[in-house]
């Protein structure tokens, strides 16, 4: 398994972040895992990467309900960034609101990136499947 | 002449002053012929010229009277002198006399009164001028006197004379009037000749004049003149030359207008001709008999009728004529008739004669005596007029009268003949009898007034007037009284006819209109029923004409239009009631219906009246189609569905509210599920880790996290409880509380917090402000907004919170204005009051405060509005419902 250059976790819940990081560490897919407590922090960082010609994380774990900038708002901005290669974005949420699923489907059509949707809690096996370069 | 007058005038003045022999001498020398005459016509002074003029040189004139000197002076001159004595200022005239040689002399004279010093008239001063030469240049013309004095007036003979020496033509007044020229007309030979009608008359007279001058021959001819006015007249023009000492001096002549005689003669000839043509071409048989019955003349009509010739009849006896039927009785009768006519009786009778084919022909025969000047019958005029047509016409008349009789008797219309003056009823037909039950026996006692009810007698006056002025009356509706006293309605008319005796008769025709009346009443009842029905329909009903003017409205429509009386609405269009836009729309609908003939059915329309009030109608417009297939107007039926529409809107609003609430509930459920799930997911994940974890430190770490997760779960549950509590406590009682008391209490509670943040509260709420709220909620609400305002302060400045209050009809509005960070409402507006929504990077933001606050305000039937500008601050307006 080829290692990913970097992974980003965007979630305001420290326990979730802890959990994902722990699972990813056992999978040993990347040395470079960063976490952000809301979409704003993440998008600002990504914009900086692009500006500095650094690479944007190849896989992103994204929570929906977050303060300041939630998952959807993040996606709205993210898809406008000029990133030529495909990024894998895994939406990870405990919401079972059908509206959220609708939103996911809509965003899938709006971008060339791969967007996946999973409900919490997530199993280690699932993580493995969805943590690979797009 | 002028000089002459002036001279006399001057003399008058001078002579009045002096009357001495010296003057006498002066007068003698006057160059003008002058004579002074006293009141006895005696000559007092005379100028030598006067004496010479009048050839008195051999006679003593002074002291002689004018009558002695002039054997006879004309009456007119005498009269003139007399009026001069009486003061008549000045008179002129012309007179003639014969001198000693018996020559006729003409003079013109002027009389002026002769005054003494005392202004008394003592005589006349006469000035004369010998004009004999002027007029005739010594020519004595025959009848001159007559000429100038118009003495020929009676005989209507005009005269003229021509002075060849002076080439002067003179016409007398009559001559001028014959020529129809004005009195001041001055003729000459050429123009005189030109009055003769061109051709024979003018040539004749020209030749006659020529012969008179050259050969001395007189003439007298009947000739035609064309007068100045273009009238052709006949005259006897006569003339003769005058010679003296064989010298041609001139012509004299006369005119006699004989136009009337010529015309009369022509007329007599014409009459004879006309008479003869009438006599012969008349359709009547005409003959003239002598008193013994012998034919003197018979006309062509009579001859042609019997195919005879003049000689078959003339000089034969009247009764022997071919056309009489054979019996001798007829002959004898005719003899007697002629004898009677000869005695002066006018005979007339209808007889039958035979035509050339022996066919009997009815003739209206008359025999009229003709009298001479001595009133004696000299002949008889027999006339016969064929009366076949008349006899036939009489027959026809008889038939048509029978027809009329039949109609008269059979007609369903009652006919009454009455005397217009007396009202007597003279005849009526059977229809009248049937209708009124009167019979012919009643007639002698029946008057027109009897068949008219007392109540309407007064109408008779107008009726009589109408008949008097027009000769006819009606038709108008009236009432007839039957024999039994009951009455029935009639439509009567009539006309006045005069009979031979000059009696004014009135024919009246009366049609029984009981049925018509009954029908009318029926229709009226039906109309009334229909009107009542239409009026009481809970619908607006109207009829419009092609111009969209209302020609019928029911009560509902009338009330809707805002009027009490139909007349205020009828004839008006929608433009009088609606605002321009509604009226225009309505007119377009009308036109569409009228033009296409397709009705509009159940169309929902909104009409705005002039006062701005709005009504929703369910409108139908149905074309009224006239017999020619075109629309003559439309019927409109509108149902006011404003209330229905309002209810529908309310229902829709309610559904909206419910669906919003429903959405909120679903949203809430999802939030709850999300929150609970996120915690349980954590538990599950952490527990899994714990099971697998061998490292004690790490295990402890996981357990710590589990504890944290558990705390979070509890907090979430608390929040949910709080929300659920609000939602379930909607029925808590609201009480009025003093707003400032609550604010003061909240300030006290968080005094330390405020102080720590250096926050300042400016409270501008009046102390007497009370709001109706659930007390527990208001504490929480105030606390929440104030702490929020401080929590989300702008770190570049100290927080300032301003509290104000305002009221509207339904709400007391508390405004909380801060100078904090502000929120981008375009971005977050929707989520501002959402659960677990936070908008600032603030660690203690839980995203539950505004959600709970909003729920509390809404639980009290209030609402919250926010306005905000990032970097400046936020204002929350909290609406407390004062009513419910």
At A50-68, the pLDDT tens digits run 999 888 999 999 999 887 7
Q: Which residues of A touch B689 (CB under 8 A)?
A: 19, 22
Contact B682 A15 (CB under 8 A): yes
Residue B152 has pLDDT above 60, yes or no: no
Convert B531-555 to b/e letters by CB count within 10 Å (16 or more is b).
eeebeeeebbbbbbbeebbbebbbb
Residue-level pLDDT at B841:
58
Beta-strand runs (E) in B245-389: 247-257, 285-290, 295-298, 347-354, 360-371, 377-386
**What mean pLDDT comes out for the span B73-94?**
72
Q: Average pLDDT over chain B, rounded to whole? A: 82
**What mean pLDDT comes out for the span B267-282?**
71
Banded pLDDT at B110 (limits 50, 70, 90):
confident
Most confident region among A71-80, B201-210, B340-349, B657-666 by mean pLDDT: A71-80
Please tell me whether residue B242 adopts helix, strand or coil conformation.
strand
Residue-level pLDDT at B800:
93
Tell how far CA B190 is from the center of its chain.
64
In Å, how far is B726's CA from the nearest CA of chain A?
24
The residue of chain A with its CA nearest to that of B846 is: A67
B403-419 pLDDT tens trace: 888 888 888 888 888 88
Contact B689 A38 (CB under 8 A): no
Who among B670, B708, B841 is closest to A95 (CB)?
A: B670
Cis peptide before B475 (omega within 30 of 0): yes
* Alpha carbon separation from B608 to B563, B581, B706 (Å, rounded): 16, 8, 70
User: Which residue from A117, A127, A122, A118 is spatially nearest to A25, judged by alpha carbons?
Assistant: A127
**What mean pLDDT comes out for the span B644-656?**
90
Residue B13 has pLDDT above 70, yes or no: no
Residue-level pLDDT at B30:
75
Return the percentage of chain B with pLDDT > 70, whole number: 88
**What mean pLDDT comes out for the span B140-154?**
43
B223-268 pLDDT tens trace: 889 998 888 888 888 888 877 666 777 888 888 888 877 777 777 7
**What mean pLDDT comes out for the span B646-675?**
85
Residue, of B58 and B818, whose pLDDT is higher: B818
Contact B841 A67 (CB under 8 A): yes
Residue, of B55 and B184, whose pLDDT is higher: B184
pTM, entire model: 0.41
Q: Which residues of B touch A93 (CB under 8 A)?
A: 674
Contact B674 A13 (CB under 8 A): no
Who among B674, B708, B847 is closest to A95 (CB)?
A: B674
**What mean pLDDT comes out for the span B191-220?**
86
Residue-level pLDDT at B524:
92
State whether residue B599 sits within 8 Å of chain A by CB.
Answer: no
Residue B849 has pLDDT above 60, yes or no: yes
Residue-level pLDDT at A116:
93
State whether residue A95 sits within 8 Å of chain B by CB.
Answer: yes
Banded pLDDT at B16 (limits 50, 70, 90):
very low
Contact A68 B840 (CB under 8 A): yes
Who among A40, A65, A120 is closest to B681 (CB)?
A: A120
Sequence-ordered list of residues with C-beta below 8 angstroms from that of B566, at least 6 positions apart, any chain: B553, B558
SS3 content of chain B, % helix, strand, coil (to 5): 45, 30, 30
Selected residues 51-90 of chain A with any CB under 8 Å from a CB in chain B: 65, 67-68
Residue-level pLDDT at B17:
40
Domain boundaries, chain A: 7-130
B517-534 pLDDT tens trace: 899 899 999 989 988 898
CA distance B484 to A12: 118
Token output for B794:
């702008």
In Å, how far is A115's CA from the nearest CA of chain B?
21
Contact A19 B838 (CB under 8 A): no
The residue of chain B with its CA nearest to that of A26 is: B689
Most confident region among B101-110, B294-303, B500-509, B738-747 by mean pLDDT: B738-747
Residue-level pLDDT at B114:
83
Task: Count the neighbouring beta carbons within 10 Å of the beta carbon of residue B832.
Answer: 18
CATH number of A7-130: 3.40.50.2300
The residue of chain B with its CA nearest to that of A69 is: B839
A69-91 pLDDT tens trace: 889 999 999 999 988 889 999 99
Residue-level pLDDT at B73:
65
Contact A96 B677 (CB under 8 A): yes
Residue A131 has pLDDT above 90, yes or no: no
- Residue of A42, A66, A94 for testing the chain B interface, max B β-carbons within 10 Å: A94
**What mean pLDDT comes out for the span B802-817?**
92
Contact B839 A22 (CB under 8 A): no
**What mean pLDDT comes out for the span B785-806?**
90
Q: Which residues of A touch B713 (CB under 8 A)?
A: none
Most confident region among B65-74, B350-359, B619-628, B674-683 by mean pLDDT: B619-628
Residue-level pLDDT at A79:
92
Residue-level pLDDT at B445:
85
State whether residue B677 sits within 8 Å of chain A by CB.
Answer: yes
User: Which residue from B82, B21, B18, B28 is spatially nearest to B50, judged by alpha carbons?
Assistant: B28
In Å, how far is A31's CA from the nearest CA of chain B?
21
Return the percentage of chain B with pLDDT > 90, whole number: 13
Banded pLDDT at B75 (limits 50, 70, 90):
low
CA distance B535 to A80: 71
The residue of chain A with its CA nearest to that of B706 is: A15
Per DSSP, B446 falls in state -
Residue-level pLDDT at B134:
55
Contact B839 A38 (CB under 8 A): no
Per DSSP, B575 falls in state G
Asked whether the CA dihedral A87, A88, A92, A97 is positive or negative, the reply is positive
Residue B328 has pLDDT above 80, yes or no: no
Most confident region among A44-48, B164-168, B727-731 by mean pLDDT: A44-48
Contact B673 A18 (CB under 8 A): no
In total, the C-beta contacts within 8 angstroms joining chain A to chain B are 64
Residue, of B838 and B45, whose pLDDT is higher: B45
State whether residue B841 sits within 8 Å of chain A by CB.
Answer: yes
Cis peptide before A121 (omega within 30 of 0): yes
B679-716 pLDDT tens trace: 888 888 889 889 988 889 989 999 998 998 888 888 88
């Amino acid at each position: 398994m080829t290692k990913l250059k970097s992974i980003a976790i965007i979630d305001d819940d420290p326990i979730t972040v802890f959990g994902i990081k722990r699972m990813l560490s056992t999978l040993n897919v990347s040395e470079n895992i960063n976490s952000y407590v809301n979409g704003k922090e993440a998008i600002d960082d990504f914009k900086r990467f692009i500006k500095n010609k650094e690479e944007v994380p190849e896989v992103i774990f994204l929570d929906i309900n977050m303060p300041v900038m939630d998952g959807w708002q993040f996606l709205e901005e993210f898809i406008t960034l000029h990133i030529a290669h495909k990024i894998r974005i895994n939406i990870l949420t405990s919401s079972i609101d059908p509206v959220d699923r609708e939103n996911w489907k809509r965003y899938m059509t709006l971008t060339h990136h791969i967007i996946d949707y999973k409900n919490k809690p997530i199993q280690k096996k699932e993580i493995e499947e969805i943590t690979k370069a797009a | 002449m002028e000089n002459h007058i002036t001279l006399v005038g001057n003399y008058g003045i001078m002579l009045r002053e002096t009357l001495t022999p010296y003057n006498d001498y002066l007068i003698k020398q006057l160059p003008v012929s002058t004579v002074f005459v006293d009141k006895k016509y005696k000559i007092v002074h005379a100028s030598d010229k006067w004496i010479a003029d009048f050839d008195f040189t051999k006679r003593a004139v002074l002291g002689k009277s004018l009558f002695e000197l002039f054997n006879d002076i004309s009456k007119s001159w005498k009269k003139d002198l007399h009026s001069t004595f009486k003061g008549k200022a000045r008179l002129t005239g012309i007179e003639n006399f014969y001198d000693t040689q018996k020559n006729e002399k003409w003079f013109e004279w002027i009389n002026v009164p002769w005054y003494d010093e005392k202004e008394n008239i003592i005589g006349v001063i006469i000035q004369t001028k010998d004009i004999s030469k002027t007029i005739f240049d010594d020519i004595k013309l025959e009848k001159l006197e007559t000429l100038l004095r118009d003495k020929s007036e009676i005989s209507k003979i005009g005269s003229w004379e021509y002075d060849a020496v002076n080439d002067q033509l003179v016409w007398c007044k009559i001559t001028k009037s014959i020529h129809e020229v004005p009195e001041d007309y001055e003729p000459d030979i050429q123009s005189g000749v030109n009055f003769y009608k061109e051709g024979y008359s003018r040539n004749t007279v020209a030749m006659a004049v020529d012969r008179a001058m050259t050969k001395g021959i007189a003439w007298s001819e009947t000739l035609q003149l064309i007068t100045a006015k273009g009238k052709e007249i006949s005259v006897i023009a006569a003339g003769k030359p005058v010679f003296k000492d064989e010298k041609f001096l001139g012509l004299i002549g006369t005119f006699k207008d004989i136009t009337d005689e010529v015309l009369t003669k022509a007329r007599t000839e014409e009459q004879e001709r006309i008479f003869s043509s009438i006599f012969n071409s008349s359709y009547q048989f005409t003959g003239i008999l002598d008193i013994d019955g012998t034919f003197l003349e018979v006309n062509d009509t009579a001859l042609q009728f019997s195919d005879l010739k003049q000689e078959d009849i003339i000089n034969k006896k009247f009764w022997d004529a071919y056309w009489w039927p054979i019996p001798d009785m007829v002959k004898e009768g005719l003899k007697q008739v002629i004898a009677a006519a000869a005695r002066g009786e006018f005979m007339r009778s209808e007889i039958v004669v035979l035509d050339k084919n022996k066919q009997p022909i009815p003739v209206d025969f008359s025999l009229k005596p003709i009298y001479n000047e001595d009133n004696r019958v000299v002949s008889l005029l027999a006339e016969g007029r064929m009366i076949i047509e008349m006899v036939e016409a009489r027959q026809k008349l008889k038939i048509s009268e029978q027809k009329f009789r039949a109609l008269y008797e059979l007609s369903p219309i009652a006919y009454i003949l009455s005397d217009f003056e007396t009202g007597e009823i003279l005849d009526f037909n059977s229809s009248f009898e049937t209708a009124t039950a009167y019979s012919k026996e009643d007639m002698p006692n029946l008057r027109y007034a009897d068949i008219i009810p007392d109540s309407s007698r007064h109408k008779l006056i107008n009726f009589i007037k109408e008949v008097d002025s027009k000769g006819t009356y009606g038709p108008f509706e009236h009432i007839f009284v039957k024999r039994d006293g009951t009455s029935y309605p009639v439509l009567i008319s009539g006309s006045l006819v005069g009979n031979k005796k000059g009696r004014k008769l009135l024919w009246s025709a009366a049609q029984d209109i009981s049925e018509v009346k009954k029908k009318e009443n029926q229709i009226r009842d039906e109309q009334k029923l229909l009107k009542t029905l239409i009026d009481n329909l809970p619908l607006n009903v109207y009829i419009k004409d092609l111009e969209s003017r209302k020609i019928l409205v029911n009560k509902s429509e009338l009330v809707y239009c805002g009027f009490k009386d139909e007349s205020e609405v009828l004839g008006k269009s929608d433009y009088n009631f609606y605002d321009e836009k509604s009226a225009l729309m309505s007119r377009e609908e009308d036109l569409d219906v009228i033009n296409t003939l397709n009705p509009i059915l159940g169309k929902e329309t909104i009409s705005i009246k002039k006062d701005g009030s709005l009504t929703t109608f369910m409108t139908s417009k149905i074309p009224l189609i006239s017999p020619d297939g075109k629309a003559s107007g439309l019927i409109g039926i509108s149902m006011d569905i404003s209330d229905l529409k309002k209810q529908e809107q309310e229902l829709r609003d309610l559904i909206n509210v419910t669906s919003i609430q429903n959405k909120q509930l679903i949203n809430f459920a999802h939030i709850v599920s999300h929150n609970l799930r996120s915690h349980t997911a954590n538990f599950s994940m952490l527990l899994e880790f714990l099971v697998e974890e061998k490292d004690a430190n790490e295990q402890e770490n996981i357990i710590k996290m589990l504890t944290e997760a558990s705390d979070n779960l509890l907090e979430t549950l608390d929040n949910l409880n709080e929300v659920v509590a609000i939602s379930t406590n909607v029925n808590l009682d609201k009480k009025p509380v003093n707003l400032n008391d609550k604010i003061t209490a909240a300030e006290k509670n968080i005094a330390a917090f405020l102080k720590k943040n250096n926050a300042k509260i400016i409270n501008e709420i009046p102390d007497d402000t009370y709001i109706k709220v659930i007390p527990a909620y208001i504490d929480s609400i105030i606390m929440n907004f104030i702490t929020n305002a401080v929590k989300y302060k702008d770190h570049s400045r100290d927080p300032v919170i301003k509290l104000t209050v305002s009221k509207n009809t339904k709400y007391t509005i508390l405004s909380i204005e801060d100078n904090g960070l502000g929120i981008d409402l375009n971005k977050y507006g929707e989520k501002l009051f959402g659960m677990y929504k936070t908008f600032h990077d603030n660690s203690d933001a839980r995203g539950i405060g505004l959600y709970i606050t909003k729920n509390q305000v809404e639980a009290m039937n209030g609402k919250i509005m926010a306005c905000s500008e990032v970097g400046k601050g936020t204002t929350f307006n909290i609406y407390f419902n004062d009513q419910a």
